[in-house]
Structure 1
Amino acid sequence: MPLPLRKNTAKIDQIISLDCSTDLITPGSLVNGVVRVDTKLAERKGLREITVELVGEIRIAIDTAGGKDDWATIRQKKSIIQGDGIKMTVWKGSSDLVQDDSPKWNKLDKESSPPPSFQSAIAESSGMISFSFSLPFPTDPALPPSFCDNVYVSYAEGIVSSVQYFVQVKGLKNENPNHESNVTLVKPFVYLPYDDSPPPPVHGIAMRTWKGGSNPTKVAMFGEKKVGEVQVGLSVPSLPSFPLSQEIPISIEITCFSPYMSANESNNPSSFKFPLPPTTAQDLELKLFRRVVAVVGKMKHRMHRRIDLGPVAGFGKKESTGFKSLVHADVGAPEWIVREDNKKEGRWRQTVQFQSSLFFDCSPTFEHENLSIRYMLDLKVPFPGIGNNLELSATLPPITSGIIANIDIPDGFNKKLDLHPSYFERVPVDGFPTAWKQTLTLPG
């Protein structure tokens, strides 16, 4: 019987099945599983050998013509895992079984004397072998984390890309491992590198602030323009990196100034009508964006795209997915500010400060010669009137795994990250999901 694993099972015409652990993999971790082989059926189908291997691939497809020409699509696939011990032979056509230094068995049926670990499998089915494997994942610190972005955007941003790791079982009919007559079975898993320099606790340290401003305009009676002022500050901890699955405090401070008016209004706060600051988290937008840069082909075609990952930290009318942040709003009272060069005039000022937390479950930041990603926050503070919205963008420090060697992964860690569902699908023979070919062509 197979080993007791938390598993996903994949099969190829009942000749081969693969049971594989779905736990998160880190550098040096063992990828465990069981390959079952119906040896009699395998021989009838003409299989010469069955192997199991750890595979890591970067796949990129870019559209250099904005969907106007199918031939302008460039696809590239690159293997990124190398080293000893990542591949082994499970079975050969002569019914040889390879398991470390154990003897080879030419006939695996009820009359043979197989190794004890296969007794139960053979008792269940005379032609079936259950082979447990344990392959060490490489410790190369340069390997990028799992990543998948199978979403097509628009003209000049036609990139789909992934970094995928999987267990691959191959039934070889031809000596060429890439021959179309061979059969392939894969089961993807998630890989994250260690966080070599974990940042200090994010609470009680200095904050880094991005500032922005604008002058919203309102047209009054008889076409007179009233010009106000808005100042915004977006603050996060001043750290070299942000770890996954840890609360990161964030604050947003918005100060609004009314247009100048007569000092007669200094005791009438209700005269402050524009631009009024937002007072609830739903009145402004804070979104996380991912910037993807791809370099592919012999001509080193370089393309980037910016992907909206949705609202974060509890801001916006659309509720954030995953971790739910509680936003605290401190709404200050309006204050009258006398105009320095004209004491007969002044304006109102009001400040609102929002406190919340960020919580990342995305693929960590990485840089590879063909593919790189990083993250940024976009803040939008809407005001009435055309062109009055204030927008501010902040490029975040690298997001890291937050996983430290020899320390247990913390509870609540999202081990599947925010990976697109296509990451966990079977990889086609040519290495690209079918949907990629469909989405890379835009309507004319």
Structure 2
Amino acid sequence: MTTANPQLITIRFPNLVRVAGETIEGHVDFNVPLARKDGIENLRFEVRGVIRTQIYRQYGDAGIVHKETVPLFSSVDSLWTPESPDTGSDVVSLPFRFKLPDDLPPSFYRWDGTVRYSLEAVCERPGKFHPNRRARQIFSVTPAASKNQLLAKESLRQGWTGPWKETKKEEKIRQGIWGEYSHVYATFSIPDLPSFPIATPIPYSFQIVTETKTVDHSDHPDDKHGHPLFPAPPTLSTDLTQILCRKIECRVRTDNIFSRTKPKYTHHEKRTETFDLQKNRRLEEKDRKAPTDYGQTESITCTQAVEAIVDEPEWIPKDHKSRGIWRRSVRFTSTLTLPFAPTLSSETIDWQYILQFVVPFPGLTNNFKLEIPLELGPGLACPPPPTGAPGSSNHSYADVLPAGPAPSILDLPPAYWGEDGHDWDDDKKS
């Protein structure tokens, strides 16, 4: 919350994650004597949501930031005028109520792409040299979960008993540039769901199976000198890397000065954010051509303890009993809790998620990589309207209510809550 004059005007609005379709309400505390003394002619209140993208381009020695703002909604209401009835109190509490649209995208913030929501109370003063007084508050929004999404969330919370979806990959590798290949097989298993609710534990298993090249039976996979036969599977979760990638594309449409038949020219910017799920931290971005809103790594809790089940090596004879291969298998199981904005596709910004496992083996280009696309969906039901509001009731629209209170923040950096970049459309800035 920001206030130009806390004695004049203050917004009272709980800082919780709001759900698209929800009816929000709060109060504006307004000092009437100070307002009359300050020449306030009107107190207006605005609820607003925007998607804002900006792309940096270098043209010779000069750099230009191309910008575009797409309005999501805007509602303006007058709360007070000098003709409003006198309540007999110096400070009046003026209520506001507004129903958020049903199809809002999730809050999001990066330097080149933002989805942001705000409240603004403006005390209008006449005259060019009399700046308006204002108070502002930013809030966050997530899409509403459907009934099926809430049922899936509850099933995950209680322990998944439904079908699983497997992603498999096989790859041939060898330690040198010559000779027979060894084999690596990977299987990733996750509940078979079209999307996964955010901030909800998701169980998974990741199995690695390795097969050596043809060797003598006497070549035991774990020799006494500590040099296991190639390729040895990882036996500790720290031996592999678990990464969540968020691939973001921002677009800015600008006037095309070189063509009358094509009035708009679209600038594109793609980049990938990475989160180390084992170390529970956001990784710093490399080779950025424009400013970034993360100057350092950030802690994000995603992964619980990982359990490793190591099978005994299995000998598989070939043409001769003394010749064959050693097969080794390790299975890792754990849960992922991903507190990120649900997957989005819109006119000017979209993002998607890819889960990535990397298993390093000795030798050049022997990093085994398995990628699994993940669609993240909302996990909160739209609350019923407040008591007394049109359509109010004692029940949510969904049969299954979310457990526990809504989180206060969903992967939003401090810059989201600042005032810069909101494009508040008032011609007299205070």
TM-score of the aligned structures, taking structure 1 as reference length: 0.75
Residue by residue, what CA displacement relative to the aligned partner does 1:220-260 show, whole Å, maximum 9, x if unpaired?
A: xxx86564221112221111111123221111010112222
Distance 1:173 1:257, change over 3 A: same
Contact between 2:315 and 2:326, CA under 8 Å: does it hold in 1? yes
Q: Which residue of 2 aligns with 1:77?
A: 69
Contact between 2:277 and 2:302, CA under 8 Å: does it hold in 1? no
The CA distance in 1 between the partners of 2:134 and 2:363, in whole Å, is 59
1:145-160 superposed matches below 5 A:
145-150=106-111, 160=112
The CA distance in 1 between the partners of 2:282 and 2:360, in whole Å, is 11
2:330 to 316, 331, 352: 352
Does 2:82 correspond to 1:89?
no
Equivalent AA in structure 2 for residue 374 of structure 1? Q
The CA distance in 1 between the partners of 2:250 and 2:298, in whole Å, is 31
Q: Which residue of 2 aligns with 1:373?
A: 351
Contact between 1:28 and 1:136, CA under 8 Å: does it hold in 2? no
The CA distance in 2 between the partners of 1:235 and 1:320, in whole Å, is 26
The CA distance in 2 between the partners of 1:280 and 1:338, in whole Å, is 28
The CA distance in 1 between the partners of 2:276 and 2:206, in whole Å, is 18
* 1:353 Cα offset (Å): 0.5
Gapped regions of structure 1 (runs ≥ 5): 1-8, 98-104, 106-113, 123-127, 151-159, 433-444
* 1:334 Cα offset (Å): 0.9
Equivalent AA in structure 2 for residue 190 of structure 1? S
- Which SS does the other structure have where 2:247 is aligned? strand
Does 2:52 correspond to 1:59?
yes
1:266-285 superposed matches below 5 A:
269-270=222-223, 272-285=228-241
Distance 1:21 1:30, change over 3 A: farther
Equivalent AA in structure 2 for residue 162 of structure 1? T
Q: Which residue of 2 aligns with 1:214?
A: 171
* 1:31 Cα offset (Å): 2.6
Equivalent AA in structure 2 for residue 274 of structure 1? F
Does 2:317 correspond to 1:338?
yes
- Which SS does the other structure have where 2:77 is aligned? strand
- Which stretch shows the higher mean deviation, 288-297 or 326-335? 288-297
Number of aligned residues: 376
Equivalent AA in structure 1 for residue 193 of structure 2? L
The CA distance in 1 between the partners of 2:276 and 2:10, in whole Å, is 39
- Which SS does the other structure have where 1:300 is aligned? strand
1:25-40 superposed matches below 5 A:
25-40=18-33
Residue by residue, what CA displacement relative to the aligned partner does 1:266-313 show, whole Å, maximum 9, x if unpaired?
A: x67538422111111111111112122222213132332211133159
Does 2:90 correspond to 1:133?
no
* 1:327 Cα offset (Å): 1.5
Q: Write 1 or 2 for the structure with the bigger share of strand.
A: 2
2:244 to 288, 291, 305: 288
- Which SS does the other structure have where 2:411 is aligned? coil
Equivalent AA in structure 1 for residue 77 of structure 2? M
Q: Percent identity?
A: 23
Equivalent AA in structure 2 for residue 133 of structure 1? P
Gapped regions of structure 2 (runs ≥ 5): 254-263, 284-296, 384-395, 426-430
Q: Which residue of 2 aligns with 1:110?
A: none
The CA distance in 2 between the partners of 1:408 and 1:167, in whole Å, is 27
Distance 1:66 1:378, change over 3 A: farther
The CA distance in 2 between the partners of 1:186 and 1:319, in whole Å, is 27
4+ aligned runs moved over 6 Å, structure 1:
313-320
1:50 to 22, 43, 65: 43
Contact between 1:56 and 1:164, CA under 8 Å: does it hold in 2? yes
* 1:12 Cα offset (Å): 0.6
Q: Which residue of 2 aligns with 1:13?
A: 5
The CA distance in 2 between the partners of 1:283 and 1:272, in whole Å, is 15
* 1:28 Cα offset (Å): 4.1
The CA distance in 2 between the partners of 1:243 and 1:316, in whole Å, is 20
- Which SS does the other structure have where 2:238 is aligned? helix
- Which SS does the other structure have where 2:102 is aligned? coil
The CA distance in 1 between the partners of 2:47 and 2:118, in whole Å, is 6
Equivalent AA in structure 2 for residue 96 of structure 1? E
Equivalent AA in structure 1 for residue 136 of structure 2? V
Distance 1:401 1:170, change over 3 A: same
